[in-house]
Every structure is written in C-alpha cells, then in structure tokens.
Homo-oligomer: A and B are copies of this chain.
Amino acid sequence: MAKRSVKIDTKELEAAVEEVVGRMGVIERFGKAADHIEGLADIETDRFGIAVATHDGGMVMGGDAETPFPIQSISKVFALTLALRAFGDDVWKRVGREPSGDPFNSIVDLERHKGKPRNPFINPGAIVVVDMLLDIAAKDETHKTVRDFLAAEIGEEIKVDRTIFDKESSGGFNNRAMANMCKFFGNLNHEVDAVMKPYVSQCAIALTCRQLALAGRYLMDGGEKPLEDESVRARRVNSLMLTCGQYDGSGDFAFRVGLPAKSGVGGGILAIAPGLASIAVWSPGLDENGNSLLGTLALEQLAERMGWSVFG
C-alpha cells in the first residue's frame, strides 16, 4: 500500500485552499439553490466553505467552513456504510451498484428491474438502504442511526434541521412513488411511512464543512486503525461514489475532478482523496444536475493543484 505513505505538504495545502477560496469569492455565477426543497431556496447562493481533513490528522479550512447546512443526499454514504457493516454483500441482493444514466430512467429502471434500484445513491436505492437500517434496529437495540454514526465519527452532538425535516415530511411524493414501487415488488420490509421518516430525517441532518470532512475520514483510510474489512469497505464505497455520486453529472465530475465524491442538494459535497484527505465543500448554488456549482469548481481546482486525481 505504497500510496498511503505519501506525505502531504501542509503549507502547500494551506496555500491551495486559500487560493481556491479567493477564486470562489470573485466568481459571479453561483447556480441556483434547490427550490423544490422548501427551506433551502432562500439561502444566499454566493456563500462558500471548504474543509480538508488530512491523513496525518491535520485540518485546513477556508470560507464558511463553520456554517451548518443540511447534508441531504450525502447522508446516503453513511447509511450505506451502516448497512454494509451489518449485512455485508447481502446489501447487493436488494440494491445494484451500476450508474443509473439519465435521471429520466430512474423509475423505468425500477420497474424493469422489479423494484431493485440501480444503486444506493439514487433515491429509491437509499430508501431501500434505510429499510435495511430499520431491519437492523428491529433486532438490535444498540443499533446506530446515521446521526449516531456521525456523532461518533465527529465527536460532537449532531442536529437535525427541524424546519427542513418538517417541510420535507409533508411532501416527497416522488420519493413516496418510488417507495411504493419498491414495496409493490417486495423490496421494502417496512411500511412506506415508517421508512420515509428516517429517510427524511437523515437528509435533514445539518453539518458544517469541518464536521463533514471529519465524518469522511474513515473513507480516506478505512478507519483510524484500519481493519482489513473496513479498508475494503471504504474502497468499495469510494468506487460507488465515483461512479454514482453526483446524480446525472457523475461522469462529468469524474472527468473534471477525478475524486470519489457525493453531493447533496443542500450544496454540500464530500470528496475523498484515497490515502490522503477527506474534503468537504459547501456552496448552495446548484448546476443543472443538482450539484453545487462552486463546490465542484473548487474541488476541480484543489485536485488539480494538489495532484490528487485518482486518474494520474
């Protein structure tokens, strides 16, 4: 595992982060905040934050790195991790691991594949993963939710944004359509309402960039004291983030940034430089695929400057 031994030049990283923050500050087009999710639409789209947790325990921050934002779909990474720890490869009996192509295809694919979602990062896939977490909770009362998991990884208390939670709880008809379709095909063990609640709840968890970067450390190196299993698991989650992590912009993100990453419609992105760093960026303006516009640009520049792309 030669790559792990690579040292990060902290000064260079600090300079890179500073430069990226500076560049983001002069950009005048930030995309549009998600308007289909109430409570997100009124945020100032020019805000930007970044935090980099390095393999050697360092933390480099810039911009609004201490402003909390709802992690939304980034929670899918942590939910998947919990499911993999409990069920191992059985997870893949209920959810696939292929990119889903055009968003248009999602419900078609669900129908064609008889309720088995293409991957755990599209909404129906995450809904099935949450259903698995309920299966664990039913058997094991010490079961950790995504919120517990994050609290443990970060070492701080984690909050759910009640405004977001309340607003999303009363809607989400598209997700309910997907959940019912999964249920129709027998791929949901619990009631649709019972699954939607923790699903919406984990999406509404609010983290700062600093906290999110801390939470992603286990993916950069497989845990502080890497066990073999955890290391393999991290590698696999990284592969899914790279192929499926940015909605219908995953190919473009891999092309431009070259790092495994997961975005959320709240404007956050968690990116992993394997063996090197766990990076969190946030800026609420989204591009046409629903990924943070400034966040993606910042990661592109940082990865280029630091030579962190996994593709050479």
Contacts and interface: CB of A to CB of B under 8 A. Distances in A.
Contacts of A258: 235, 239
A177 interface: yes
A184 interface: yes
Contact of A96 (B184, B244, B251): B251
Nearest to A99: B99
A98 B311 contact: no
A238 B312 CA distance: 8
Q: How large is the interface on A (under 10, 10 to 19, 20 to 34, 35 or more residues)?
A: 35 or more
B236 A311 contact: yes
B310 A248 contact: no
B176 A251 contact: no
Contacts of A6: 2-3
Interface string A92-120: 00001111111011011101100000110
Contacts of A235: 258, 309, 311-312
Nearest to A309: B235
Interface in A255-298: 255, 258, 260, 272, 274-275
- In the A-B complex, the 10 residue pairs with the smallest Cβ-Cβ separation, listed nearest first, are A101-B101, A274-B312, A99-B99, A173-B184, A177-B180, A310-B310, A98-B251, A238-B311, A176-B180, A239-B254
Contact of A98 (B180, B181, B248): B248
28 contacts: A1-B307, A3-B312, A4-B312, A97-B255, A98-B101, A98-B249, A98-B252, A99-B100, A101-B101, A104-B112, A105-B105, A107-B181, A108-B111, A173-B181, A176-B192, A177-B178, A177-B181, A231-B312, A234-B312, A235-B312, A236-B255, A236-B311, A238-B312, A239-B255, A239-B311, A240-B255, A244-B251, A272-B312
Interface in A58-101: 96-101
Interface string A212-255: 00000001111000000001001110111011100011111011
